[in-house]
Each structure stands twice: as C-alpha cells, then as structure tokens.
Amino acid sequence: MIIKNGKVLLFKNDDVVIEEKDVLIQEGKITKIEDQIKADGEEIIDATDKIVMPGLINTHTHIAMCLFRGTFEGCDLFTWLHKKIWPIEDKLTKEQIYDASIFSMIEMIATGTTCFNDQYFMPEETRKAAEKMGMRAVLTRPLMDTDGSDLNVRIQEFRDFYESRDENNDLITYSVAPHGLYTCSGNCLKKARDLAVEYNLPIHVHFLESIDEINSIKELHGEEASKVLKKYFDGIHTILAHGVKLNDQDIEVLKTMDCGIAHNPVSNLRLGCKIADVTKYKKAGITVALGTDGAGSGNNLDMFESLRTACLMQGGIYEDADRITSRDVIKMATIEGAKLLGLEDRIGSLEEGKDADIILVDISSKLDHISMLPNHDIISNLVYNTSGRDVDTTIVKGKILMKNRKFEQVDVNEAIKKVNQINII
C-alpha cells in the first residue's frame, strides 16, 4: 500500500513538522517515507488535502463505560463510583460488555484512535471485540479487594484471561491493574507486583485523581500515596492514570521510578478533580501521555477533544507562555503514549521499521472545515480546530479499519442499535 500526496506529520529534532511525502507500507510496517514513491502494483491511498499522522493512543480508558455516557453529572469521584457506577456495573452481562466494546471501538476508530489502554471486568469480551475490529489494545482484569471482593478469585480471573491469550496476535498486549491505592490493600498491591514480575507486564493503576484519595490512601496504608507507590512498584514500569494531585514531594518520588502519567483532562474537569499541572510534570522529566478515561466521566472517546482540552486548560493555571503547546500535546497523544505503554519501538511515530498505525485527517477547504481556514499553522489547527469527525481513514498495522469513514468489518448501524437498546440506568 502507498499513501500518496499527503502532508505527513513527522517528529524531527524534537519538533513536530509537516512534510509532503509518500508512505510505503509492506506487511504491516512502514518501509519507506520519501518524495514520490513509484507504485509497483500496490494499493494507492490518495491523501491529497489530508494530514497523514500516527494513530492516536488513548492511554487510559474503560471503553464499555459508553453505557454510562451523559449520566450522573455533578458527582464527586467517590460518590460517583460508590453510589452510582459500581452498583450498576455489578449487573452488567457479558453480551452488554461485548456490544459496548464493539460500539466504543467504532467511536475510537472513527475519531482516529488506533490503540487504547483499558481497565474493565470481563475483559474476554473486550478482547473478542478488539480481534473482530482489528484494534490495538492493552487489556487486563483489574484487581481490588477493599470492596469485599475475593482477591484470590480476581487474581485467578486475571491469570485465566492472560493465559488464554493468542500469542500470534501481537496487537493485544497486557497489564496488571490494581484499580487504585485506595481500593487495594497492601496484600493486593503486593500480589499485583508479584504478577507483574511473574509475567513481565507493566502496572496500570489509578493514582491521585481526586482530593479524597489523599486521605483515604493514608488511612488504608499508613503512608502517603507516592511512598506506597514506590514501596510496591519500584523497578516496574507503571502507568499512572490521572496524577492530578501530585505535590512537589510526589514528583521527586516519581522521578526515581519507571513510571509516567496518563492525563485525562476532560474526565478530570467533568468529575471536579481540578487541573493536573502537566507542564510541571513534563519539566521534571516525567512522561505524560493522554487519555479520555471512560465515557461515563470523559463524555466521549474523541482524543482530539483531549488534545485541545489538555492544551487549553494549562492556561487555567499558568498566566505566562511557559506552558505546554499544541506541539507538545500531539506528542503526548502519540509517541509519549507509546512510551507510556512500553510500545515505542513499534508505534507512536511514522518511521521506517515501525508498524503502520496511521490516520488520515481531512483538512480540505470546505464549509465543514471553515473554522480551520485559512490554515496558517497546520499543527496548531490540528489541536485547536480539528475534531475526530475529520478523520477520514484509520489503519492499524497496515490494515484499513475505516476508509472514507466507512467500515467493512462491522455493521455500524446494527452495533449502534444494539447499544441504544441497552438500558441500565
């Protein structure tokens, strides 16, 4: 396959640049990025008036939570989880999780996400859906025990899930996910660590998302959150979802660990968790990537909304220009996301030798794009004036998952109908 005549987004000397190039894809990999590649029988994708860029990487989500979209506005995190979400989740069926997973993957593919890091129960259903849709995913069976659930049963469910993996499918990778330091006892965190070591997997944990968490972690573990984190996960690659409430001491601890932050700006605002100072975290050398969180709190899975919100909301805490820019957030949604998930040798940038996870974003001059015209700065417009609806084509490992906004592997109308009929609220 050759993607011809596009404006290709590349990372060069720490900058984000756009160059007019062709991209050759062979056996799922990018093998050449050059001016005018001559076709020799390959399938041609015409990318005239389109940005050709790495697929977006959603580093923290719970995709089946599209079933909660638009509900329970105005709750704080703890009320939302304990009183609203968890009692309903207890009643969800396998079929509902499968249908919700297919539905959310359609939303992600249609808005330019090619890889997501999920944390939800009955993950076999999400995995089945990812295999059908052709998406790249990091999956797990989350662990927690302060809610009275039997930890040994949860761990066995994780083992059964992981051990039943298809080793030939390298699009699906795995994490060990203690839900949060406030929902897992010391014993649960230790067992999560042991599993991560045994299977050589990263940890994926909610960390300092809300103000209430600070005290509840202290009460449960007798120590501050970052000390608890270091005690159990030092030396293990750790994906921290949120990190809104980090103080300077926490940042110092995180700097000594192999970890990074999945920043979920829209979800944080929706749940009244305030603003993570990701400008400061980045300056301290901590990896910061982007996510949407589940659609129950993040509203949708459109990473372009996260890009724009992440960038804009730093202006809510910084009055000077010394804060993250549109170029930074594009990296956060691509190469930094790949780093956070431990996949940077395979995805996250358009480079020869990497897997072809690519999206085409339509920037043609027409009424639908009037808000991005005149297009003086393509990168800035991509962040401030683009939405997932502008994504035209989505490719994962060289396979087209959506072309000209059409899907072949799934009946979109049927998938929408199924989820519209699920009434759990």
Query: Where does this chain touch Zn ion (CB under 5 A) — which range of 14-22, 285-293, 316-324, 395-403?
Result: 285-293
Query: Where does this chain touch Zn ion (CB under 5 A) — which range of 30-38, 230-238, 269-277, 289-297?
Result: 289-297
Q: How far is the CB of 261 from Zn ion (least distance, A)?
A: 13
Q: How far is the CB of 252 from Zn ion (least distance, A)?
A: 25
Taking the least distance from each CB to Zn ion, the nearer of 210 and 326 is 210
Residue 386's closest CA among 9, 4, 46? 9
Q: How far is the CB of 239 from Zn ion (least distance, A)?
A: 11
Taking the least distance from each CB to Zn ion, the nearer of 101 and 386 is 101
A 10 A CB-CB count for 248 gives 8
Taking the least distance from each CB to Zn ion, the nearer of 293 and 305 is 293
Q: How far is the CB of 241 from Zn ion (least distance, A)?
A: 5
**Cβ atoms of residues 401 and 134 within 8 Å:** yes
CA 276/CA 309 separation, integer angstroms = 12
CA 319/CA 401 separation, integer angstroms = 42
Q: How far is the CB of 206 from Zn ion (least distance, A)?
A: 6
Contact pattern for Zn ion over residues 132 through 171, marking x by CB under 5 A:
----------------------------------------
Distances (CA, A) of 8 to 2, 130, 382: 13, 27, 13
Residue 85 per-residue DSSP state: I
Residue 61 per-residue DSSP state: E
Q: How far is the CB of 60 from Zn ion (least distance, A)?
A: 6
Query: Where does this chain touch Zn ion (CB under 5 A) — which range of 40-48, 167-175, 286-294, 405-413?
Result: 286-294
Considering only residues 199 to 218 of the shown chain, the ones binding Zn ion according to CB under 5 A are none
Considering only residues 333 to 352 of the shown chain, the ones binding Zn ion according to CB under 5 A are none
Query: Where does this chain touch Zn ion (CB under 5 A) — which range of 134-142, 177-185, 288-296, 353-361?
Result: 288-296
- Show Cβ contacts of residue 16 under 8 Å, excluding neighbours closer than 6 positions: 9, 10, 327, 330, 331, 379
Question: Which three-class secondary structure state does DSSP give residue 248?
Answer: helix
Determine the angle formed by the axes of helices 225-233 and 186-199, rounding to 10 degrees. Answer: 40
Taking the least distance from each CB to Zn ion, the nearer of 293 and 392 is 293
- Show Cβ contacts of residue 376 under 8 Å, excluding neighbours closer than 6 positions: none
Considering only residues 292 to 331 of the shown chain, the ones binding Zn ion according to CB under 5 A are 293
Taking the least distance from each CB to Zn ion, the nearer of 293 and 302 is 293
The letter for the amino acid at 393 is T
Taking the least distance from each CB to Zn ion, the nearer of 306 and 394 is 306
Q: How far is the CB of 301 from Zn ion (least distance, A)?
A: 13
- Show Cβ contacts of residue 174 under 8 Å, excluding neighbours closer than 6 positions: 138, 139, 140, 162, 165, 199, 201
Taking the least distance from each CB to Zn ion, the nearer of 183 and 226 is 183
Taking the least distance from each CB to Zn ion, the nearer of 1 and 66 is 66
**Cβ atoms of residues 387 and 79 within 8 Å:** no
| End-to-end Cα distance, the chain | 45
Contact pattern for Zn ion over residues 98 through 137, marking x by CB under 5 A:
----------------------------------------
Taking the least distance from each CB to Zn ion, the nearer of 114 and 264 is 264
Q: How far is the CB of 181 from Zn ion (least distance, A)?
A: 13
Q: How far is the CB of 22 from Zn ion (least distance, A)?
A: 39
A 10 A CB-CB count for 318 gives 14
Q: Which single residue brings its beta carbon nearest to Zn ion?
A: 293
The footprint of Zn ion on this chain (CB under 5 A) covers a number of residues equal to: 1
Q: How far is the CB of 273 from Zn ion (least distance, A)?
A: 11
- Show Cβ contacts of residue 392 under 8 Å, excluding neighbours closer than 6 positions: 50, 360, 361, 362, 403, 404, 405
Determine the angle formed by the axes of helices 151-163 and 186-199, rounding to 10 degrees. Answer: 20
Taking the least distance from each CB to Zn ion, the nearer of 107 and 293 is 293
Q: Which residues bind Zn ion (CB under 5 A)?
A: 293
